[in-house]
């Protein structure tokens, strides 16, 4: 493979540990052609010397880009009970305002923020399909293409997941009025996904899969139809599942089974499925998911912000399950904070330390969490993003060794400090497919204008 760019890193995270004096060679196709640890002076000739420790880029397994517009604007409690369901009503108010141009501006800034934090691919769980009145756009891809343009402008990779959303609840005949922009069919989401995969056929940073919003939002026949179509097309499937206890209770009332239990009984799950949240999954369900090969996408900051509950990470890791992380509602855009919250939630519940490491039978908690995010993230995105290895896309970030979190830290403890010493270690540079995107500041004005148009300075 012809060389495109050569880099030298004093230390780089390869195959679950730190390697020293690493030559990283990217091909013209944007994938890694070679990794060589212990590189001598002659090997380094002509290579760009990177200014700090190098980590693989992280795939963000779950995003609702439009919700970046309400980060920090849902923290005043309404009268009465405040929970996920009351937050959802406020989220709908935002969803009903955003135009395609505003979505593009918001997503562009968000995606640049994600890049600056070291995310290099984002799985966009996209259900804003229709216009403000709930009518189809003349081009069914109107809102989807706004997200594609945003990703291109920011420089991040995008896995777009057009989302099936057909009803407001298990016993409902259709959608509520405030859900009108979400209306879709198995055929409509499949056509969007196929069009985007065609658009990204020669693009290593763009692909598409299918999302099913949730079991409450789709009847059993449509769920099976969509899942089978995705499987036949070789697309990944993402679904919100068991996020709230009420959802579990309603599913039992409707189907006589818990949500994940029902999916397992239908023999629907396989290695292409990604179950988002699974907060209220039982241990038996988790073992079933692991046997199926499906993965779980965890969004600790959003799950905490919405009061969802705590996922049973120790049981999942002990079972050898695959997982990754996502920033979901984007109240934080840092994978370091997501991993920190994921571990700390387990510590608070169990009143123990290094929960993930002990569950996985390893020594270092940060390594367990980070390797899970890398391995599961590439699968969720349906792209070769499994770290610094030949054949994988040449995505990486360079940590700033002058970050307060890293000052004086021994080289073999840099990842631990990056995850568990707050504020986060700064990311000095980030690369996608061997190229360096523009910084978030380049897109701030468009974001600010969109926010002003949406909220007029007062939420």
Asked whether the beta carbons of 127 and 161 are under 8 A apart, the reply is: no
Using alpha carbons, select from 232, 234, 97, 235 the residue that is nearest to residue 161. Answer: 235
Burial (CB count <10 Å: 0-12, 13-18, 19+), residue 351: exposed
The catalytically annotated residue of 129, 240, 280, 328 is: 328
- Active site annotation includes 416: no
- Active site annotation includes 328: yes
Tokens linked to 219: 């009847």
Beta-strand relationship, 295-298 and 323-325:
parallel
The catalytically annotated residue of 129, 213, 277, 280 is: 277
Angle at 148 between CA 441 and CA 196, to 5 degrees: 165
With H, G, I as helix, E, B as strand and everything else as coil, classify residue 21: strand
**Cis amide leading into 318 (omega within 30):** no
- Give the DSSP per-residue string, 302-368: HHHHTT-----HHHHHHTT--EEE--BT-S---HHHHHHHHHHHHHHHHT-S-HHHHHHT-S-HHHH
Q: Cα–Cα distance between 213 and 189 in angstroms, integer?
A: 11
Using alpha carbons, select from 265, 369, 268, 262 the residue that is nearest to residue 313. Answer: 369
Known catalytic residues? Answer: 277, 328
């Amino acid at each position: 493979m012809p060389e495109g760019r050569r880099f030298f890193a004093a230390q780089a995270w390869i195959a679950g540990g730190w390697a020293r004096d690493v030559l990283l060679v990217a091909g013209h196709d944007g994938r890694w052609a070679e990794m060589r640890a212990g590189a001598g002076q002659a090997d380094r000739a002509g290579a760009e010397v990177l200014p700090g420790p190098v980590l693989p880029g992280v795939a963000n397994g779950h995003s609702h880009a439009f919700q970046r517009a309400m980060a920090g604007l849902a923290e005043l409690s309404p009268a009465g009970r405040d929970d996920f369901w009351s937050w959802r009503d406020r989220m709908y108010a935002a969803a009903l305002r955003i135009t395609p141009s505003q979505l593009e501006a918001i997503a562009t800034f968000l995606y640049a923020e994600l890049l600056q934090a070291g995310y290099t691919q984002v799985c966009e769980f996209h259900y804003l399909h229709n216009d403000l009145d709930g009518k189809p756009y003349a081009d069914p891809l109107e809102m989807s293409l706004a997200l594609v343009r945003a990703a291109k402008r920011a420089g991040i990779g995008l896995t777009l997941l057009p989302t099936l959303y057909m009803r407001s609840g298990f016993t409902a005949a259709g959608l509520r009025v405030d859900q009108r922009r979400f209306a879709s069919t198995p055929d409509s989401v499949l056509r969007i996904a196929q069009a985007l995969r065609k658009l990204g056929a020669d693009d290593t940073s763009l692909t598409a899969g299918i999302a099913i919003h949730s079991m409450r939002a789709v009847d059993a026949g449509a769920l099976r139809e969509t899942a089978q179509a995705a499987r036949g097309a070789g697309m990944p499937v993402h679904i919100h599942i068991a996020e709230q206890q009420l959802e579990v209770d309603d599913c039992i009332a409707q189907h006589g089974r818990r949500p994940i239990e029902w999916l397992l009984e239908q023999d629907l799950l396989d290695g292409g499925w990604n179950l988002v949240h699974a907060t209220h999954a039982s241990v038996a369900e988790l073992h079933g998911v692991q046997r199926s090969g499906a993965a779980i996408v965890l969004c600790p900051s959003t799950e905490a912000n919405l009061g969802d509950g705590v996922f049973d990470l120790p049981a999942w890791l002990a079972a050898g399950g695959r997982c990754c992380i996502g920033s979901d509602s984007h109240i934080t855009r840092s994978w370091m904070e997501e991993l920190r919250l994921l571990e700390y939630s387990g510590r608070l519940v169990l009143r123990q330390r290094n929960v993930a490491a002990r569950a996985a039978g390893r020594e270092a908690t940060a390594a367990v969490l980070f390797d899970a995010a890398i391995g599961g993230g590439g699968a969720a995105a349906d792209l070769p993003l499994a770290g610094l290895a030949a054949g994988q896309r040449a995505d990486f970030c360079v940590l700033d060794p002058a970050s307060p979190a890293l000052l004086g830290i021994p080289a073999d403890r840099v990842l631990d400090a990056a995850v568990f010493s707050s504020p986060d270690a700064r990311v000095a540079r980030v690369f996608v497919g061997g190229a360096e995107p523009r910084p978030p500041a380049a897109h701030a004005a468009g974001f600010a204008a969109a926010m002003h148009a949406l909220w007029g300075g007062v939420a």
